[in-house]
Amino acid sequence: MKKHYFLICPALLMACCILVSCTGKQQPEQAPQVKYETKVLQPETIVYNMSFPATTSGTTEIKVYPQVEGIITEKNFTTGTKVEKDQTVYIIDPTEYQLSVKAAEANLSVALARMETTKLQYESNQELYNKRIISDYVLKTSLNDYNSAKASVLQAEAQLNIARTNLGYCNVTAPVTGYVDANGFDEGDMAMRSNYLCTVSDNSIVDADFSLTETQLLDMIKSYDLRIGSKGMEGPNGKFIGDAMPKLQLKLKDGEMYKGEGVVTKIEAIVNPTTGTVLCTAEFENPNGVLRSGMSANIIVPLTVDSVLCAPQTAAVRLQDQMMFYRIKTDGTVEGIICKVVPSNDGKEYYIIEGLKPGDEIVTNGVRKLSNGTKVR
């Protein structure tokens, strides 16, 4: 039998395939292979810890001035150490003041002797006057001499007390219990009344001063219902401001949190027109002396805020100084929305200030693979 062979043109074969494809049933669009996690934004109540630079100072900080002048002969402390109240910190050369005491004592002795002499003279004249031997003038003159002598005694006693007081001032003592810092004066230096010798700080309670912007102050006033009262800023119904607000924390320079908690004791009522800030003071108990005057730290103020939209930081794409989130539209595709945000304290979330609204659904993972129009469902 004779066999027959057919040659099929490749172009004809391709055309047939296209024809079959066009006349066949259309295939459905493939769903996205990546499964994206999403979140529907709903208002939440958060506690946001605001941080403010602060400087510490002892609630009692006294500059010690000498009450007398002279050469310093002793310095009885080391800067930064603790001294007790009435402990001697400096001794000023007492020689001059010792001599003043001796001179005052001698003057008092002379005055006492003169008073005794004039007393005897007056008593003698009184007898003579009674016998009508001397005149009234002589009697009164002797009485005046006696009274003048008594006044001289009082004056001499006062001078002696002053001399003794000045001698006592040669021992310069700490006015309170606290930590002492020298003002550069050592043995051999001249102590002058116009220059303080050292500073003694009672650090059992420490103040931390920090500043709020006008916006932060308004947020705080709204959150804790603060108002101006007869004693300055206070809580509702005249409550002490420290009781109206939550306890504060203090973050030290090394990054560690101070173990004790503090309270706000003062918020000034006037905004500084130059800086646009308000000075605030918080108080911390310091039983172990960890806090010292002049330390730099950060005050942590918890602020309760209602109706905040929270999004995980994995949902954000940074565009220079802005953050973008991908919102899912009704057709399942996404669009990038630029938002104003504030990072949470734990670094896991962003608080959205503007750009998105309640009910918006955003993609929370794999956002770097997305672009406007990408279908995610």
Q: How far apart are CA 211 and CA 17, in angstroms?
A: 78
Q: Which of 4-13, 120-129, 140-149 has the lowest mean pLDDT?
A: 4-13
Query: Rounded to an integer, what is the distance from CA 134 to the centroid of its chain?
Result: 82
Query: Which pTM was predicted?
Result: 0.60
Reply yes or no on whether the pLDDT at 5 is more than 90.
Answer: no
pLDDT at 10: 43
Determine the average pLDDT of the residues in 177-202: 93
Query: What is the separation, in whole angstroms, between the first and last Cα of the chain?
Result: 63
Longest alpha-carbon distance in the chain: 196
Q: Which of 92-106, 162-176, 212-226 has the lowest mean pLDDT?
A: 212-226
The whole-chain average pLDDT of the chain stands at 88
pLDDT at 169: 97
Determine the average pLDDT of the residues in 231-241: 85
Residues 246, 250, 252: CA angle, nearest 5 degrees = 170
Per-residue model confidence as pLDDT tens digits over 36-61:
999 999 999 988 888 999 999 888 88
pLDDT at 33: 61
Per-residue model confidence as pLDDT tens digits over 80-94:
888 999 999 999 999
pLDDT at 32: 54
Reply yes or no on whether the pLDDT at 15 is more than 50.
Answer: no
Give the H/E segment covering residue 50: strand 44-64
Reply yes or no on whether the pLDDT at 130 is more than 70.
Answer: yes
Q: Domains plus CATH for the chain?
A: 38-48+306-369 (2.40.420.20), 51-59+201-304 (2.40.30.170), 66-91+173-196 (2.40.50.100), 94-169 (1.10.287)
Q: How far apart are CA 279 and CA 210, in angstroms?
A: 6
Q: Which residue has the higher pLDDT, 354 or 8?
A: 354
Query: Rounded to an integer, what is the distance from CA 44 to the centroid of its chain?
Result: 31
Closest CA to 244 of 260, 267, 275: 267
Sequence-ordered list of residues with C-beta below 8 angstroms from that of 165, at least 6 positions apart, any chain: none
SS (H, E, C) 218-273: HHHHHHHCCEEECCEEECHHHCCHHHHCCCEEEECCCCCECCCCEEEEEECCCCCC
Q: How far apart are CA 159 and CA 165, in angstroms?
A: 10
Per-residue model confidence as pLDDT tens digits over 282-294:
999 998 888 988 8
Sequence-ordered list of residues with C-beta below 8 angstroms from that of 71, at least 6 positions apart, any chain: 92, 93, 188, 189, 190, 191
Give the H/E segment covering residue 375: none
Q: Which residue has the higher pLDDT, 197 or 46?
A: 197
Sequence-ordered list of residues with C-beta below 8 angstroms from that of 9, at least 6 positions apart, any chain: none
pLDDT at 18: 39
pLDDT at 317: 95
Per-residue model confidence as pLDDT tens digits over 207-235:
999 999 988 888 888 888 888 887 788 88
Phi, psi at residue 334, to the nearest 5°? -115, 155
pLDDT at 80: 85
Q: How far apart are CA 269 and CA 144, in angstroms?
A: 64
pLDDT at 256: 93
pLDDT at 233: 85
Phi, psi at residue 125, to the nearest 5°? -65, -30
How far CA 358 is from CA of 12, 334, 353, in Å, comes to 59, 17, 12
Look at the alpha carbons of 235, 240, 244, 247 in this order and tell me if their dihedral is positive or negative.
positive
Determine the average pLDDT of the residues in 257-284: 91
Cβ–Cβ under 8 Å, residues 173 and 87: yes
Per-residue model confidence as pLDDT tens digits over 307-341:
899 999 999 999 888 899 999 999 999 999 999 99
Name the pLDDT band for 253 (thresholds 50, 70, 90).
Answer: very high
